[in-house]
Structure 1
């Protein structure tokens, strides 16, 4: 059994600490540059001309609050050790992407008006792309440092005799979710608007937004499921996202899953306390129950073979 932990240190550092630092820096910059900023700065543009103005303090407070509420609100779940590891990772990347966007935009708006009249200020569109790219990169770094702190309990009995049994031919590896062709089509559908926006804006910055978002969205539709003599695990974004050891498996079964009807959509889903699913297709799914109380469902064409092998291994345990 692992020790119960409430806070993940890496999650607290990246998910709570970085948004707080970004918000604090947004408040500090106008004070540092007070003598060089105009009394009222441009904060809204119509085309290339500014048409909305505010005093620097109000602008910085607004940006700081949005960073905390939106960026920090998303990434804060990364600090909650009992929550599902994959969910914490995705929310951390999403939250820090938003935080990077907002802080970079705030800083560049202020820098662009140092020692210059607000009426001539230009909206630094490149900062939007740069901020998203930087935030997502830091988010992925933080996500790689998160750990699964859920309580692991050992199963005390064999799986129910009614559950399937099968030959133990390991490892059983399956790439689940969208295929290569479908992934390429989806990527093209995501990137096509970005290319059009780049052409209209005559700048690269839209790609810096679309590319990280595309990677994040498409990664929710592609997973690698591995069943071996240690248990079952799911890899995603080059990291082990779900890991259930053989000693904690109470039983494994097969279910027919319909993403929308049963789980409310595709991808990573939660349904009630302790019930998680990675559902990408309509069809068979491996359903694993562990002694700690969690039930995990993952759609896979080899679900029957996986369940049979896991239950046979658990019998030997």
Structure 2
């Protein structure tokens, strides 16, 4: 069955509507508070004092434009129903984190200048940076969990080639590929915690933790996958959500080959090489290569590639005998 859906409803709400609403909220709030604001408000701070000023409404429209262009520009990809699900989820989290950061800073910026006559004496609470990232990321993750995969699904009409591996007693095969638990913690420490602590000491505040740690978590999550093969098919789980999934009735066959991530896919992680050729390639070595009736091909490097291929082919055989 082929899906003709072009727009993911959840993606449209979270990726298109929310950034626009965030931008408009900032404009409306500025208009409501304008009588209580100075003729020119501070819009940019150094570490000690304001060094940029603008009228309230010109600042509001600038914030709105930046929110839509950067936050909405990233998040809008989530609305494209036929795009890769994991890419849509990642870009939604990134885009709404940016939108949350901008809107929170704008609201706090306005609030600290209410009923102030001289904006040059105001200070921006830098904790608003961290709070904005956290709020945006949480909303982004909520929206990401609601996205659905609308890729074409076509049932295979013949069993896998008899020369492909089979399992005598097929069972669920699961493997964590990419960074393990220890490696993930070390990477998070290097990319998130250590830089955050350094900046915290520099600025004498906690807010860098709320910026660097979520970014570090996002990077680590993109380098760690759980691959599960069972009688329903094969699925790749990332960030606690299914990033790729092929049902057993779609699978034409699964074979094993040796893959070199940079030579064969030009990189490491979840990769796309050409049209509809996906790879979860995190090591040099054996990989299960799954072909499907819709024309997709999925390559997963794993020490258990032989077990995965044998189980998938056997489950596919049984599917045709017992539809």
TM-score (structure 1 length as normaliser): 0.95
SS at match of 1:129: helix
* Post-superposition offset of 1:99: 0.8
* Post-superposition offset of 1:90: 1.1
For residue 239 of structure 1, what is the aligned residue in structure 2? 241
For residue 74 of structure 1, what is the aligned residue in structure 2? 74
For residue 188 of structure 1, what is the aligned residue in structure 2? 189
SS at match of 1:44: strand
SS at match of 2:258: strand
Identify which range, 223-232 or 156-165, moves more after superposition.
156-165
Q: Is 2:37 aligned against 1:41? A: no
* Post-superposition offset of 1:255: 2.9
Q: How far apart, in 2, do the equivalents of 1:111 and 1:181 lie?
A: 43
For residue 99 of structure 1, what is the aligned residue in structure 2? 99
2:170–2:310 contact (8 Å) kept in structure 1: no
SS at match of 2:36: coil
* Pairing of 1:226-305 with structure 2 (within 5 A): 226-305=228-307
* Pairing of 1:169-188 with structure 2 (within 5 A): 169-188=170-189
Q: Where does structure 1 lack aligned partners over 5 or more consecutive residues?
A: none
Q: Please report the RMSD computed on the Cα atoms of aligned residues, expressed in angstroms.
A: 1.6
2:188–2:213 contact (8 Å) kept in structure 1: no
1:105–1:127 contact (8 Å) kept in structure 2: yes
Q: Where does structure 2 lack aligned partners over 5 or more consecutive residues?
A: none
1:40–1:54 contact (8 Å) kept in structure 2: yes
For residue 199 of structure 1, what is the aligned residue in structure 2? 201
* Post-superposition offset of 1:130: 0.2
TM-score (structure 2 length as normaliser): 0.93
* Post-superposition offset of 1:164: 3.1
For residue 165 of structure 1, what is the aligned residue in structure 2? 166
For these two proteins, the number of residue pairs brought into alignment is 317
SS at match of 2:283: coil
SS at match of 2:34: coil
* Post-superposition offset of 1:294: 1.5
Identify which range, 163-172 or 147-156, moves more after superposition.
163-172
1:48–1:123 contact (8 Å) kept in structure 2: no
Q: Deviations over 1:131-151 (max 9, x none)?
A: 000000011111111111212
Q: How far apart, in 2, do the equivalents of 1:70 and 1:259 lie?
A: 31
For residue 309 of structure 2, what is the aligned residue in structure 1? 307
For residue 221 of structure 1, what is the aligned residue in structure 2? 223
* Post-superposition offset of 1:79: 0.9
For residue 123 of structure 1, what is the aligned residue in structure 2? 124
For residue 51 of structure 2, what is the aligned residue in structure 1? 51
* Post-superposition offset of 1:261: 2.8
Identify which range, 152-161 or 169-178, moves more after superposition.
152-161
